[in-house]
Amino acid sequence: MAEDVFKALADPTRRLILDELVDRDGQTLFEICARLATKHDLGLTRQAISQHLAVLEAADLLRTRRQGRYKFHDLNTEPLERIATRWIRPHTPESTP
């Protein structure tokens, strides 16, 4: 749903999380928390970051995968591509008489 994507993108912290996943895909919650704290000086709890990740996952902007005890978060750009192409149509020159 495009509405879920817009809701997810409305929050600046979630946009920072996506930026970090663009920079380095496949991060754990611990890695994301550390990068937000060191690079962006965000002092959010792991629980708060986890809630942001849940919103991004519900909007299908990220996908998670488990390997042993670890849960990795991967960026999924398909919803963004659908939104971008929604309003951008191939321009065809109008026929002239």
Instruction: Return the sign of the alpha-carbon dihedral for residues 78, 85, 14, 38.
Output: positive
CATH hierarchy code of domain 2-85: 1.10.10.10
Q: Report pLDDT for 49.
A: 97
SS3 content of the chain, % helix, strand, coil (to 5): 55, 15, 30
CB-neighbour burial class of residue 89 (10 A; exposed 0-12, middle 13-18, buried 19+): exposed
Q: Which amino acid is it at 56?
A: L
The residue with greater pLDDT, 83 or 28, is 28
The per-residue pLDDT for range 29-66, each reduced to its tens digit, is: 999 999 999 999 998 999 999 999 999 999 999 999 99
